Structure 1
Amino acid sequence: MKKMLLAIVALLACHTMQAQYFCTTQGTELHYVNYDEAGQSLSNETVTVYNVVKNASGESAQYLAKIVTNKTKNNTSYTLYNWNYDGNVTTCQEDLMYGPYIKSDSDPAKYDSKARQAMAEELKLKGDNSFTIKKHASAGESIPDRTYSLISNMLKNEINISGAAYMGEEKVSTTAGKFDCIKISYLKRTKIVLKTETVRVTEWYAEGIGLVKSESYNTKGEPDGKTILVKIVK
Protein backbone atom coordinates (compact mmCIF):
# COMPACT_ATOMS: atom_id res chain seq x y z
CA MET A 1 0.00 0.00 0.00
CA LYS A 2 2.83 2.42 0.86
CA LYS A 3 4.52 1.81 -2.51
CA MET A 4 1.21 2.38 -4.27
CA LEU A 5 0.68 5.69 -2.45
CA LEU A 6 4.21 6.80 -3.36
CA ALA A 7 3.55 5.99 -7.01
CA ILE A 8 0.33 8.00 -6.93
CA VAL A 9 2.10 10.95 -5.30
CA ALA A 10 4.84 10.80 -7.93
CA LEU A 11 2.29 10.70 -10.73
CA LEU A 12 0.41 13.69 -9.33
CA ALA A 13 3.68 15.57 -8.78
CA CYS A 14 4.72 15.05 -12.39
CA HIS A 15 1.36 16.39 -13.51
CA THR A 16 1.48 19.53 -11.36
CA MET A 17 2.25 21.59 -14.46
CA GLN A 18 0.98 19.83 -17.55
CA ALA A 19 1.95 22.27 -20.28
CA GLN A 20 5.30 20.62 -21.00
CA TYR A 21 5.83 17.08 -22.24
CA PHE A 22 8.32 16.11 -19.52
CA CYS A 23 8.36 15.74 -15.75
CA THR A 24 9.72 18.62 -13.68
CA THR A 25 9.73 16.92 -10.27
CA GLN A 26 13.34 16.46 -9.18
CA GLY A 27 14.30 12.86 -8.43
CA THR A 28 11.29 11.21 -10.05
CA GLU A 29 12.05 7.85 -11.67
CA LEU A 30 10.34 6.70 -14.85
CA HIS A 31 10.71 2.96 -15.44
CA TYR A 32 10.49 1.50 -18.95
CA VAL A 33 10.75 -1.95 -20.48
CA ASN A 34 12.15 -2.30 -24.00
CA TYR A 35 10.96 -5.26 -26.09
CA ASP A 36 12.40 -6.88 -29.22
CA GLU A 37 10.53 -7.69 -32.44
CA ALA A 38 9.22 -10.96 -30.94
CA GLY A 39 7.75 -9.19 -27.92
CA GLN A 40 10.40 -10.51 -25.55
CA SER A 41 11.82 -8.20 -22.87
CA LEU A 42 15.15 -6.89 -24.16
CA SER A 43 16.17 -4.38 -21.48
CA ASN A 44 14.98 -2.37 -18.49
CA GLU A 45 15.45 1.39 -18.48
CA THR A 46 15.32 3.69 -15.45
CA VAL A 47 15.07 7.41 -16.20
CA THR A 48 15.81 9.83 -13.35
CA VAL A 49 14.67 13.47 -13.52
CA TYR A 50 17.26 16.00 -12.36
CA ASN A 51 18.67 19.50 -12.94
CA VAL A 52 15.15 20.93 -13.03
CA VAL A 53 15.02 24.67 -13.71
CA LYS A 54 11.86 26.78 -13.64
CA ASN A 55 11.73 30.48 -14.47
CA ALA A 56 9.52 33.10 -16.11
CA SER A 57 10.57 32.10 -19.62
CA GLY A 58 9.88 28.37 -19.25
CA GLU A 59 11.18 25.14 -17.77
CA SER A 60 13.96 22.66 -18.38
CA ALA A 61 15.11 19.32 -17.00
CA GLN A 62 17.45 16.46 -17.75
CA TYR A 63 16.54 12.79 -17.94
CA LEU A 64 19.41 10.45 -17.02
CA ALA A 65 18.67 6.99 -18.43
CA LYS A 66 20.26 3.78 -17.18
CA ILE A 67 19.66 0.85 -19.53
CA VAL A 68 20.28 -2.71 -18.35
CA THR A 69 20.18 -5.26 -21.16
CA ASN A 70 19.05 -8.77 -20.29
CA LYS A 71 21.34 -11.81 -20.46
CA THR A 72 24.50 -10.10 -21.71
CA LYS A 73 27.86 -9.18 -20.21
CA ASN A 74 28.77 -5.51 -19.72
CA ASN A 75 25.06 -4.96 -20.02
CA THR A 76 24.67 -1.48 -18.50
CA SER A 77 24.72 1.71 -20.54
CA TYR A 78 23.70 5.32 -19.97
CA THR A 79 22.32 8.19 -21.97
CA LEU A 80 21.13 11.71 -21.26
CA TYR A 81 18.15 13.71 -22.53
CA ASN A 82 17.86 17.50 -22.33
CA TRP A 83 14.29 18.83 -22.18
CA ASN A 84 13.16 22.42 -22.54
CA TYR A 85 9.79 24.19 -22.64
CA ASP A 86 9.39 27.80 -23.81
CA GLY A 87 5.69 28.24 -23.06
CA ASN A 88 4.50 26.78 -26.35
CA VAL A 89 6.94 24.16 -27.63
CA THR A 90 8.66 21.28 -25.83
CA THR A 91 12.09 20.40 -27.21
CA CYS A 92 14.03 17.24 -26.43
CA GLN A 93 17.55 16.38 -27.51
CA GLU A 94 19.34 13.17 -26.66
CA ASP A 95 22.93 13.91 -25.69
CA LEU A 96 24.58 11.40 -27.99
CA MET A 97 27.98 12.15 -26.46
CA TYR A 98 27.10 11.19 -22.88
CA GLY A 99 26.95 7.41 -23.43
CA PRO A 100 30.33 7.19 -25.22
CA TYR A 101 31.87 9.48 -22.58
CA ILE A 102 30.76 7.21 -19.74
CA LYS A 103 31.75 4.10 -21.68
CA SER A 104 35.29 5.47 -21.97
CA ASP A 105 35.58 5.20 -18.16
CA SER A 106 35.67 8.98 -17.76
CA ASP A 107 34.42 10.61 -14.58
CA PRO A 108 30.66 11.45 -14.92
CA ALA A 109 31.13 14.39 -12.53
CA LYS A 110 33.51 16.00 -15.02
CA TYR A 111 31.08 15.78 -17.93
CA ASP A 112 30.43 19.38 -18.93
CA SER A 113 30.07 21.40 -22.13
CA LYS A 114 33.83 21.23 -22.75
CA ALA A 115 33.91 17.44 -22.38
CA ARG A 116 30.84 17.12 -24.57
CA GLN A 117 32.40 19.24 -27.30
CA ALA A 118 35.59 17.18 -27.22
CA MET A 119 33.61 13.95 -27.53
CA ALA A 120 31.47 15.42 -30.32
CA GLU A 121 34.59 16.28 -32.29
CA GLU A 122 36.07 12.83 -31.68
CA LEU A 123 32.91 11.09 -32.89
CA LYS A 124 32.39 13.62 -35.70
CA LEU A 125 28.82 14.48 -34.71
CA LYS A 126 26.99 16.45 -37.38
CA GLY A 127 23.38 17.53 -37.81
CA ASP A 128 20.43 17.92 -35.46
CA ASN A 129 18.89 15.09 -33.46
CA SER A 130 16.44 17.23 -31.46
CA PHE A 131 12.67 16.96 -31.80
CA THR A 132 9.81 19.22 -30.80
CA ILE A 133 6.26 18.75 -29.55
CA LYS A 134 3.88 21.65 -30.02
CA LYS A 135 1.17 22.34 -27.51
CA HIS A 136 -2.30 21.59 -28.96
CA ALA A 137 -0.87 20.45 -32.32
CA SER A 138 -3.53 19.44 -34.82
CA ALA A 139 -3.80 15.93 -36.26
CA GLY A 140 -2.06 15.80 -39.63
CA GLU A 141 0.27 18.71 -38.83
CA SER A 142 3.78 17.91 -40.04
CA ILE A 143 7.00 17.96 -38.02
CA PRO A 144 10.28 19.10 -39.68
CA ASP A 145 12.64 16.41 -41.03
CA ARG A 146 16.02 16.05 -39.33
CA THR A 147 19.27 14.28 -40.10
CA TYR A 148 22.38 13.58 -38.05
CA SER A 149 25.47 11.39 -38.19
CA LEU A 150 28.30 10.22 -35.95
CA ILE A 151 30.99 7.57 -35.70
CA SER A 152 29.89 4.61 -33.55
CA ASN A 153 32.00 1.47 -33.06
CA MET A 154 34.36 2.88 -35.70
CA LEU A 155 31.54 2.96 -38.27
CA LYS A 156 29.71 5.99 -39.62
CA ASN A 157 26.04 6.04 -38.62
CA GLU A 158 23.67 8.26 -40.58
CA ILE A 159 20.15 8.74 -39.23
CA ASN A 160 17.34 10.45 -41.09
CA ILE A 161 13.93 11.24 -39.61
CA SER A 162 11.30 12.09 -42.21
CA GLY A 163 7.56 12.20 -42.81
CA ALA A 164 6.90 13.01 -39.17
CA ALA A 165 3.42 14.20 -38.24
CA TYR A 166 1.03 14.56 -35.32
CA MET A 167 -1.66 11.87 -35.31
CA GLY A 168 -4.03 13.45 -32.81
CA GLU A 169 -4.66 12.60 -29.17
CA GLU A 170 -5.15 9.14 -27.74
CA LYS A 171 -5.56 7.57 -24.31
CA VAL A 172 -2.91 5.04 -23.33
CA SER A 173 -3.06 2.64 -20.38
CA THR A 174 -0.03 0.89 -18.92
CA THR A 175 0.86 -0.51 -15.50
CA ALA A 176 2.08 3.03 -14.68
CA GLY A 177 -1.41 4.49 -15.11
CA LYS A 178 -3.76 6.02 -17.67
CA PHE A 179 -2.47 8.88 -19.80
CA ASP A 180 -3.88 11.38 -22.28
CA CYS A 181 -1.23 11.40 -24.99
CA ILE A 182 -0.34 13.13 -28.20
CA LYS A 183 0.50 10.60 -30.90
CA ILE A 184 3.40 11.09 -33.31
CA SER A 185 4.52 8.96 -36.26
CA TYR A 186 7.64 9.14 -38.45
CA LEU A 187 10.04 7.16 -40.64
CA LYS A 188 13.51 6.47 -39.25
CA ARG A 189 16.21 5.46 -41.71
CA THR A 190 19.55 4.29 -40.32
CA LYS A 191 22.49 3.80 -42.66
CA ILE A 192 25.68 2.11 -41.42
CA VAL A 193 28.25 1.95 -44.22
CA LEU A 194 26.32 0.17 -47.02
CA LYS A 195 23.52 -1.27 -44.89
CA THR A 196 20.28 0.71 -44.59
CA GLU A 197 17.33 -0.03 -42.32
CA THR A 198 14.02 1.85 -42.37
CA VAL A 199 11.32 1.56 -39.71
CA ARG A 200 8.02 3.31 -39.05
CA VAL A 201 7.98 4.61 -35.46
CA THR A 202 4.88 5.68 -33.55
CA GLU A 203 5.22 7.37 -30.17
CA TRP A 204 2.81 8.55 -27.49
CA TYR A 205 3.78 11.45 -25.19
CA ALA A 206 1.90 12.67 -22.11
CA GLU A 207 2.10 16.17 -20.67
CA GLY A 208 4.07 16.24 -17.44
CA ILE A 209 5.59 12.82 -18.19
CA GLY A 210 7.20 12.45 -21.60
CA LEU A 211 7.28 9.17 -23.52
CA VAL A 212 4.61 6.66 -22.47
CA LYS A 213 4.82 4.19 -25.34
CA SER A 214 6.76 3.66 -28.56
CA GLU A 215 6.28 1.06 -31.29
CA SER A 216 8.28 0.44 -34.47
CA TYR A 217 7.57 -1.65 -37.58
CA ASN A 218 9.71 -2.55 -40.58
CA THR A 219 8.77 -1.71 -44.16
CA LYS A 220 6.77 -4.97 -44.38
CA GLY A 221 4.62 -3.91 -41.43
CA GLU A 222 6.21 -6.46 -39.10
CA PRO A 223 6.97 -5.53 -35.44
CA ASP A 224 10.51 -4.24 -34.89
CA GLY A 225 10.33 -3.43 -31.16
CA LYS A 226 8.53 -1.38 -28.56
CA THR A 227 9.04 0.57 -25.34
CA ILE A 228 6.47 0.93 -22.55
CA LEU A 229 6.40 3.05 -19.38
CA VAL A 230 5.66 0.57 -16.61
CA LYS A 231 6.16 2.48 -13.35
CA ILE A 232 6.64 5.96 -11.89
CA VAL A 233 8.47 6.30 -8.56
CA LYS A 234 9.11 9.39 -6.45
Structure 2
Amino acid sequence: MRKLMFFVAALLICHVAQAQYFCTSEGSELHYVNYDEVGQSTSNETITVKNVQREGNTVKASYYDKIVTTKAKNNTSYTLFNWSYDGTATTCTEDLMYGPYIASDSDPARYNEAARLGLLEDKKFKGDNSFTLLNEAQAGTAIPDRHYQLIQNMLKNEITISGASYMGREQVSTTAGKFDCVKISYLKRTKIVLKSTNVRVTEWYAKGIGLVKSETYDMEGALKAKTMLVKKNIK
Protein backbone atom coordinates (compact mmCIF):
# COMPACT_ATOMS: atom_id res chain seq x y z
CA MET A 1 0.00 0.00 0.00
CA ARG A 2 2.78 2.40 0.92
CA LYS A 3 4.60 1.66 -2.35
CA LEU A 4 1.37 2.42 -4.24
CA MET A 5 1.01 5.74 -2.43
CA PHE A 6 4.60 6.68 -3.30
CA PHE A 7 3.96 5.68 -6.92
CA VAL A 8 0.82 7.83 -7.14
CA ALA A 9 2.63 10.76 -5.54
CA ALA A 10 5.46 10.43 -8.06
CA LEU A 11 2.97 10.41 -10.90
CA LEU A 12 1.35 13.58 -9.57
CA ILE A 13 4.73 15.32 -9.32
CA CYS A 14 5.57 14.33 -12.88
CA HIS A 15 2.17 15.57 -14.05
CA VAL A 16 2.74 18.98 -12.47
CA ALA A 17 6.26 19.15 -13.90
CA GLN A 18 5.01 18.46 -17.43
CA ALA A 19 1.80 20.50 -17.39
CA GLN A 20 3.19 24.03 -17.13
CA TYR A 21 4.45 26.14 -20.02
CA PHE A 22 7.86 26.82 -18.48
CA CYS A 23 10.94 24.94 -17.33
CA THR A 24 11.20 23.91 -13.68
CA SER A 25 14.76 22.51 -13.73
CA GLU A 26 16.97 24.81 -11.66
CA GLY A 27 19.97 26.11 -13.59
CA SER A 28 18.69 25.16 -17.04
CA GLU A 29 19.42 27.53 -19.93
CA LEU A 30 17.38 28.49 -22.97
CA HIS A 31 19.07 30.29 -25.88
CA TYR A 32 17.21 32.47 -28.38
CA VAL A 33 18.10 34.49 -31.46
CA ASN A 34 16.10 37.54 -32.55
CA TYR A 35 15.93 38.38 -36.26
CA ASP A 36 14.86 41.42 -38.25
CA GLU A 37 12.55 41.51 -41.30
CA VAL A 38 15.26 40.27 -43.70
CA GLY A 39 16.43 37.43 -41.44
CA GLN A 40 19.52 39.11 -39.99
CA SER A 41 20.32 38.42 -36.33
CA THR A 42 19.73 41.49 -34.16
CA SER A 43 20.32 40.04 -30.69
CA ASN A 44 20.91 36.88 -28.68
CA GLU A 45 19.18 35.97 -25.43
CA THR A 46 20.26 33.54 -22.72
CA ILE A 47 17.63 32.63 -20.14
CA THR A 48 18.67 30.95 -16.89
CA VAL A 49 16.04 29.18 -14.77
CA LYS A 50 16.21 30.07 -11.06
CA ASN A 51 14.11 30.22 -7.88
CA VAL A 52 12.09 27.07 -8.59
CA GLN A 53 9.49 26.53 -5.86
CA ARG A 54 6.86 23.82 -5.44
CA GLU A 55 3.94 23.64 -3.02
CA GLY A 56 1.11 21.22 -3.71
CA ASN A 57 -0.14 21.74 -7.27
CA THR A 58 1.58 25.12 -7.47
CA VAL A 59 4.98 25.53 -9.07
CA LYS A 60 6.92 28.75 -9.70
CA ALA A 61 10.14 29.67 -11.47
CA SER A 62 12.03 32.77 -12.58
CA TYR A 63 13.62 33.27 -16.01
CA TYR A 64 16.64 35.60 -15.81
CA ASP A 65 17.16 36.89 -19.34
CA LYS A 66 20.46 38.35 -20.64
CA ILE A 67 20.07 40.12 -23.99
CA VAL A 68 23.11 40.93 -26.14
CA THR A 69 22.42 43.19 -29.12
CA THR A 70 24.43 42.55 -32.27
CA LYS A 71 26.92 45.23 -33.42
CA ALA A 72 26.08 47.86 -30.80
CA LYS A 73 27.91 49.61 -27.99
CA ASN A 74 26.64 49.12 -24.45
CA ASN A 75 24.83 46.19 -25.98
CA THR A 76 23.88 44.09 -22.95
CA SER A 77 20.56 44.40 -21.14
CA TYR A 78 18.52 42.24 -18.79
CA THR A 79 14.96 41.37 -17.96
CA LEU A 80 13.19 38.91 -15.69
CA PHE A 81 10.12 36.72 -16.23
CA ASN A 82 8.24 35.21 -13.29
CA TRP A 83 6.22 32.10 -14.08
CA SER A 84 3.64 30.22 -12.00
CA TYR A 85 1.34 27.24 -12.50
CA ASP A 86 -1.66 26.45 -10.29
CA GLY A 87 -2.76 23.12 -11.73
CA THR A 88 -5.03 24.56 -14.42
CA ALA A 89 -3.21 27.54 -15.95
CA THR A 90 0.27 28.98 -16.48
CA THR A 91 0.81 32.68 -15.80
CA CYS A 92 3.84 34.74 -16.83
CA THR A 93 4.66 38.28 -15.74
CA GLU A 94 7.67 40.18 -17.03
CA ASP A 95 9.34 42.12 -14.23
CA LEU A 96 9.92 45.35 -16.15
CA MET A 97 11.81 46.84 -13.21
CA TYR A 98 14.67 44.33 -13.17
CA GLY A 99 16.34 45.73 -16.29
CA PRO A 100 16.40 49.35 -15.05
CA TYR A 101 17.73 48.14 -11.69
CA ILE A 102 20.67 46.36 -13.34
CA ALA A 103 21.23 49.30 -15.72
CA SER A 104 21.68 51.58 -12.70
CA ASP A 105 24.78 49.54 -11.74
CA SER A 106 23.02 48.07 -8.72
CA ASP A 107 24.05 44.67 -7.40
CA PRO A 108 21.76 42.02 -9.02
CA ALA A 109 21.96 39.90 -5.85
CA ARG A 110 20.37 42.74 -3.87
CA TYR A 111 17.31 43.04 -6.11
CA ASN A 112 14.24 42.42 -3.94
CA GLU A 113 10.61 43.39 -3.52
CA ALA A 114 11.46 46.73 -1.91
CA ALA A 115 13.66 47.69 -4.86
CA ARG A 116 10.99 46.58 -7.32
CA LEU A 117 8.24 48.59 -5.61
CA GLY A 118 10.46 51.66 -5.50
CA LEU A 119 11.13 51.45 -9.22
CA LEU A 120 7.44 50.83 -9.96
CA GLU A 121 6.65 54.14 -8.32
CA ASP A 122 9.55 55.89 -10.03
CA LYS A 123 8.54 54.55 -13.46
CA LYS A 124 4.84 55.35 -12.85
CA PHE A 125 3.87 51.78 -13.74
CA LYS A 126 0.15 51.08 -13.97
CA GLY A 127 -1.85 48.18 -15.34
CA ASP A 128 -1.29 44.47 -15.96
CA ASN A 129 1.44 43.00 -18.17
CA SER A 130 0.87 39.35 -17.25
CA PHE A 131 -0.59 36.70 -19.54
CA THR A 132 -2.11 33.29 -18.89
CA LEU A 133 -2.11 30.03 -20.86
CA LEU A 134 -4.87 27.57 -20.01
CA ASN A 135 -4.13 23.85 -20.01
CA GLU A 136 -6.71 22.71 -22.53
CA ALA A 137 -7.86 25.86 -24.35
CA GLN A 138 -9.46 25.18 -27.73
CA ALA A 139 -8.75 27.05 -30.95
CA GLY A 140 -10.81 30.23 -31.05
CA THR A 141 -10.89 30.69 -27.27
CA ALA A 142 -10.38 34.37 -26.46
CA ILE A 143 -7.64 35.65 -24.16
CA PRO A 144 -8.50 38.74 -22.05
CA ASP A 145 -7.21 42.13 -23.20
CA ARG A 146 -4.60 43.85 -21.05
CA HIS A 147 -3.04 47.29 -20.82
CA TYR A 148 -0.12 48.82 -18.96
CA GLN A 149 1.96 52.00 -18.98
CA LEU A 150 5.27 53.20 -17.60
CA ILE A 151 7.96 55.83 -18.09
CA GLN A 152 10.92 54.64 -20.20
CA ASN A 153 13.76 56.90 -21.31
CA MET A 154 11.83 59.80 -19.79
CA LEU A 155 8.88 59.14 -22.13
CA LYS A 156 5.45 57.73 -21.33
CA ASN A 157 4.92 54.31 -22.92
CA GLU A 158 1.47 52.74 -23.18
CA ILE A 159 1.08 49.12 -24.33
CA THR A 160 -2.27 47.52 -25.14
CA ILE A 161 -2.75 43.84 -25.96
CA SER A 162 -6.11 43.10 -27.61
CA GLY A 163 -7.88 40.58 -29.82
CA ALA A 164 -5.83 37.73 -28.39
CA SER A 165 -6.95 34.15 -28.92
CA TYR A 166 -5.76 30.55 -29.10
CA MET A 167 -5.07 29.35 -32.64
CA GLY A 168 -4.78 25.64 -31.88
CA ARG A 169 -1.72 23.42 -31.60
CA GLU A 170 1.23 23.07 -33.98
CA GLN A 171 4.54 21.26 -34.01
CA VAL A 172 7.51 23.62 -34.33
CA SER A 173 11.01 22.51 -35.35
CA THR A 174 14.11 24.54 -34.51
CA THR A 175 17.78 23.76 -33.99
CA ALA A 176 16.81 23.07 -30.36
CA GLY A 177 14.47 20.22 -31.37
CA LYS A 178 10.83 19.51 -32.19
CA PHE A 179 8.15 20.91 -29.91
CA ASP A 180 4.39 20.39 -29.61
CA CYS A 181 3.16 23.94 -29.07
CA VAL A 182 0.06 25.93 -28.34
CA LYS A 183 -0.23 28.83 -30.78
CA ILE A 184 -1.62 32.22 -29.80
CA SER A 185 -2.03 35.50 -31.68
CA TYR A 186 -2.77 39.07 -30.61
CA LEU A 187 -2.62 42.73 -31.58
CA LYS A 188 -0.04 44.88 -29.80
CA ARG A 189 -0.37 48.65 -29.77
CA THR A 190 2.56 50.68 -28.46
CA LYS A 191 2.01 54.39 -27.87
CA ILE A 192 4.98 56.60 -27.00
CA VAL A 193 3.75 60.12 -26.27
CA LEU A 194 1.68 60.81 -29.43
CA LYS A 195 3.14 58.18 -31.76
CA SER A 196 1.44 54.78 -32.01
CA THR A 197 2.65 51.54 -33.58
CA ASN A 198 0.40 48.53 -34.21
CA VAL A 199 1.61 45.00 -34.94
CA ARG A 200 0.22 41.47 -35.03
CA VAL A 201 2.18 38.99 -32.88
CA THR A 202 1.97 35.20 -33.15
CA GLU A 203 3.67 33.03 -30.52
CA TRP A 204 4.22 29.31 -29.96
CA TYR A 205 4.68 27.90 -26.43
CA ALA A 206 5.71 24.37 -25.41
CA LYS A 207 5.10 22.72 -22.06
CA GLY A 208 8.23 22.42 -19.97
CA ILE A 209 9.95 25.12 -22.05
CA GLY A 210 7.96 28.31 -22.60
CA LEU A 211 8.36 30.39 -25.75
CA VAL A 212 9.69 28.45 -28.74
CA LYS A 213 8.96 30.87 -31.57
CA SER A 214 7.52 34.35 -32.08
CA GLU A 215 6.71 36.31 -35.23
CA THR A 216 5.75 39.98 -35.48
CA TYR A 217 3.95 41.43 -38.52
CA ASP A 218 2.88 44.93 -39.47
CA MET A 219 -0.78 45.63 -40.21
CA GLU A 220 -0.19 44.94 -43.93
CA GLY A 221 1.02 41.42 -43.10
CA ALA A 222 4.74 41.95 -43.66
CA LEU A 223 7.12 40.17 -41.29
CA LYS A 224 8.96 42.68 -39.07
CA ALA A 225 10.75 40.47 -36.51
CA LYS A 226 11.15 36.86 -35.42
CA THR A 227 12.44 35.07 -32.32
CA MET A 228 13.56 31.43 -32.27
CA LEU A 229 14.66 29.04 -29.55
CA VAL A 230 17.94 27.74 -30.95
CA LYS A 231 19.41 25.74 -28.07
CA LYS A 232 18.35 24.33 -24.71
CA ASN A 233 20.40 22.94 -21.86
CA ILE A 234 18.00 21.29 -19.40
CA LYS A 235 19.61 20.25 -16.14
Q: For residues 40-97 of structure 1, give each alpha carbon's deviation from its aligned partner in whole angstroms, at most 9, with x where no partner exists.
A: 1000000000100112031000000000000000000000000000000100000000
Q: How many residues align?
A: 221
Amino acid at match of 1:20: Q
Counterpart mapping for 1:175-190 below 5 A: 175-190=175-190
Aligned counterparts, 1:105-184, within 5 A: 105-184=105-184
2:137 and 2:143 map into 1 onto residues whose CA distance is 10
- Report the CA distance between 1:15 and its aligned residue: 9.8
Unaligned regions of 5+ residues in structure 1, if any? 1-13
Counterpart CA distance in 2 for 1:104 and 1:150 is 17
What is residue 71 of structure 1 aligned with on the other side? 71
Aligned equivalent of 2:230: 230
- Unaligned 5+ segments in structure 2 are 1-13
Match of 1:4 in 2: none
How high is the TM-score relative to the length of structure 2? 0.92
Higher alpha-carbon deviation: 75-84 or 103-112: 103-112
User: Is the partner of 1:148 in helix, strand or coil?
Assistant: strand
**Following the alignment from structure 1 to structure 2, what is the Cα–Cα distance between the partners of residues 54 and 137?**
24
Residue pair 2:16, 2:57 contacting (<8 A) in 1 also: no
Shift of 1:16: 8.7
Alpha-carbon distance in 2 for matches of 1:226, 1:90: 23
Q: Name which one, 1 or 2, has greater alpha-carbon Rg.
A: 2
Give SS of 1:220's match: coil
CA distance, structure 2, for counterparts of residue 30 and residue 223 of structure 1: 24
Aligned letter for 1:223?
A: L
Q: RMSD of the TM alignment (CA)?
A: 1.3
Task: State how far apart, in whole Å, the 1-side matches of 2:178 and 2:18 are.
Answer: 15
1:50 alignment partner AA: K
Q: After TM superposition, give the deviation of residue 119 of structure 1 in Å.
A: 0.4
- Give identity over the alignment, percent: 69
**2:126–2:149: 8 Å Cα contact kept in structure 1?**
yes
Large movers: runs of 4+ above 2 Å? 14-17
